[in-house]
Structure 1
Amino acid sequence: MSDTIAPAADPAAAPDAPPVTKTNLSPEDQATFSALLTDLTRRHAPEGAVEEHWVGQMAMAMLRGRWADALEQRVVEAALAGETCKGLPASVLPRWRTRLEKDFCRAVRELEASKAERRAAAPAMPLTSLDQRMAAFEAELARDPQAALASLLAAPDPFADDGTDEPEGFLAHRGTNEPEPPLNRAQRHRLASAGRAA
């Protein structure tokens, strides 16, 4: 992850001040940032440097949001005391909050886009169990009922004779003296739902 967490600068800093990085935070802010980063990492489970970068951007935007809260509190307290915060134009705080919101939302979008790209590139897992096959059929049925039914009709007949004496797949118990295992409640419900949709 890059040391530079986010491009936005502290509004109280000089225009040419260096960007806030995870190496020049105060000890208190470093502890807060680390806690935010740990929680966000646990929640979003990033993989790779790109996803870790965007989680870091989210953590820094949240930390800066806390700075904005503290700054707003100072402005309110000064107003209640009949004073003004010197060197702080009234328009700075709303603009800063808008920038922080944009930075956070962009980090979320980029993180989700990176995850989606990674998932799309991952090899598909083979569907081996009856439950997995039923779940895949239900998902396809929800997207396109006609295509799902056409795919079901075009699938090989599991009862067809393949010219050997060996049973296949989940029908391996057929042709033996063992009774056919009963469907569980979830499987019965799925079959009933598929029948109604057809």
Structure 2
Amino acid sequence: MQASITNTATRYGWATIVLHWLIGIIFIGQFMLGFVMVRTPSQRTAFELIQLHKSLGFLLLGLIILRIAWRLGNAAPPLPPSVGALERRSAPLAHLALYAFQVALPLSGWALVSVSTLEIPSMPFNLFVMPNLPLAESDAAESFWTSAHWYLAYAGAALVALHVAAALRHHFLLRDGVLTRMITPSSAGE
């Protein structure tokens, strides 16, 4: 059977799987890149890492918007019957929180560069100039958005760690196939 682009009643389709793992890899990579770039002693290297961080942030924002749109038009398969009532209620809330943080985090970064008094243009992957958000430039606003971006990054990382732990619990302890559904795409006939 041929793998399906869309989700079925038992598995995710390859579009959902590719978006999930691509966003996950970029999100985790962004956290690590952000951690390194602010601790790099070389100003030139730090500047280049910041530009890469901004580029990946814009890419992440576009991908998560695409992921949300895809999710709204393509229902997720239901959880297996073995999943308890508490987890059935908390899983959608956890996914909603992940989506919210994945949108809020790059938006806060965009706000940060938009209010910066340094006025360094954002050029995603050196392809075009990304316009700033219509926010007033000031040191106070830059300080606020720097803090907001930092707190969102750590809260988002904690949510991702919780998500990974839950997936590993399902796979290794419960052995209920929840993780497998996000690895092996559905077939067209399922």
The TM-score by the shorter chain falls in which range? 0.3 to 0.5
Normalised TM-score (structure 1): 0.33
Identify which of structures 1 and 2 has the higher relative contact order when contacts are C-alpha pairs closer than 8 Å and 6+ apart: 2
Normalised TM-score (structure 2): 0.34
Higher helix share: 2
